[in-house]
Structure 1
């Protein structure tokens, strides 16, 4: 299940047969936080300035998000809001010059679920905007991590999004552990994925593309899961160390 956003969008996609079995995307059982605490977090907004996914700023003009977030848009239809705790007001609203998603992205298996956005205008760092470093190795299972976003607080039945940025603390579950019998995904967990788990805590609809951060580094990109915060089903993220070389290569091309 992708961790997209609005229920209407979810229903339309489901009817079109374009999504995996379950959709996810918002922070479940998290707490209010501030952009100063997570200044790398950004919301992606459509032409109507409605939130549809999250992202992480990694340089003055580059944002990392999920490939599945970008499938229905052109660059001119997307805005990125930076430096605001509230997803629909404040901060800097910047247009998108271009974006590219991974050539190996597969919407059925969700491998390589990563995209890179080039901002039309560079942004400077401040107390509310900070570029985050890409992790070069996946932390071991059990490493504390945090997920942030403006996604729904429960699966499908919560229609409205929280306006205030949410955070939830989870533990890293590496690819091998996530595919093991300890959890319930099995072979669905592939090499470009990493998981994170905490009882009754998770990302959910609307959090897609947002950051999984450990040791002050971007470790994962919110990708998919089976429902939200279900026992035995960790949240699944694109593993940043696995796609870091693609991000660096694409950054030079955009």
Structure 2
């Protein structure tokens, strides 16, 4: 597909009311994944980060919020993801080995998640066995207030280095800045009314989340403030990465982890 056609299709999707997910790592891909413009990270620096593995392959990220609950994106829990084919790798900055690989007891996506608009793009995973916390495995606190526009933040994961580009099997991170919801939905950027109350944005020049990063953490002030959700391709000027807003969805997560 030519770049011109791809661009046209992307614009057409936005025009017709569908948002473009940052995306899942293709199940047929033998490549690793990483953040666009990223730097290698030790797991000790981001011990809450996990890899979601479906049928033995990484496809999404997630964050540890307790010894048996993982927060991720609702779209990561769509079909074909099931309890039986899903595993969580924790405690390693490599997505293919190291740390612990844990079976899953239950999954739950937000009941009001919309796959077209990506509103309420959040879900929880309950593990069969509790994680043992240490230097490489720790929970992160969920934010109760949305960080201010311009706040420093970071994203991490194993997603691609560019849209459909080359990859790495090592966890990477980038430093970014929060773009407030009103700013992200303004004429300064290209999304307009697609930015909803349950969303928060973040942007940095030539740095972004990408395919394979979905469900992973956006962290600011040492707290989980967002979950990688969607965007127009990866690191495109005037199109920040869009995340599920933890502060807006925190009450749902607290309730869901009791019932999942």
TM-score (norm 2): 0.89
Question: Is residue 34–residue 170 contact of structure 2 (8 Å, CA) maintained in 1?
Answer: no
Contact 2:61 2:216 in 1 (8 A): yes
Contact 1:207 1:222 in 2 (8 A): yes
Distance between the aligned counterparts of 1:37 and 1:4, measured in 2?
A: 25
Q: Can you give the 5+ residue segments of structure 2 that lack an aligned partner in the other structure?
A: 1-19
Distance 1:231 1:5 in 2: 22
* 2:23 counterpart SS class: coil
Superposition deviation, residue 3 in structure 1 = 2.5
Preserved CA contact (<8 Å) 1:150 1:164: yes
| Whole-Å separation in 1 of the counterparts to 2:27 and 2:142 | 33
Instruction: Find the counterpart in structure 2 of residue 69 from structure 1.
Output: 76
Runs of 4+ with >6 A deviation: none
Unaligned ranges ≥5, structure 1: 11-24
> Relative to 1, partners in 2 of residues 1:2 and 1:70: Cα closer, same or farther, differing over 3 Å?
same
> For residue 252 of structure 1, what is the aligned residue in structure 2?
258
1:58 aligns with 2:77: no
Aligned length: 237
Query: How much has 1:6 moved relative to structure 2?
Result: 3.3
Correspondent of 2:189 among 178, 183, 193:
183
**Cα offset for 1:157?**
3.5
2:95 aligned counterpart, secondary structure: coil
**Inter-partner Cα distance in structure 1 for 2:97 and 2:24:** 18
Deviations 1:198-228 (CA, angstroms, capped at 9, x unpaired): 0111000000000000011000000000010
Alignment of 1:141-160 (within 5 A): 141-158=149-166
**Counterpart position of 1:40:** 48
Give RMSD over aligned pairs: 1.3
CA-CA distance at 1:181 after TM superposition: 1.2
- Hey, what's the Cα distance between the residues in 2 that align with 1:230 and 1:66? 22
Structure 2: distance between partners of 1:125 and 1:147: 22
* 1:86-128 alpha-carbon deviations (Å, 9 max, x no partner): 0110101000000100000000000000000000000121000
SS of 1:134's partner is coil
Which residue in the other structure is 1:167 paired with? 173
The answer to whether the 8 A contact 1:3-1:26 is kept is: no
Deviations 1:28-67 (A, max 9, x none): 11111110110000000012x1100000000010000000
CA apart distance, 1:8: 5.9
| Kept after mapping to 2: 8 A contact 1:64/1:114 | yes
Hey, what's the Cα distance between the residues in 2 that align with 1:87 and 1:8?
A: 14
Helix, strand or coil for the counterpart of 2:134?
coil
Equivalent residue for 2:25? 6
Name the CA distance, whole Å, in 2 between partners of 1:231 and 1:184: 9
Distance of 1:181 and 1:248 partners within structure 2: 35
Whole-Å Cα distance in 1 between the matches of residues 104 and 88 of structure 2? 7
Q: Is the 8 A contact 2:178 2:203 kept in 1?
A: yes
The answer on whether the counterparts of 2:25 and 2:159 sit within 8 Å (CA) in structure 1 is no
Distance (whole Å) between structure 1 residues aligned to residue 191 and residue 23 of structure 2: 20
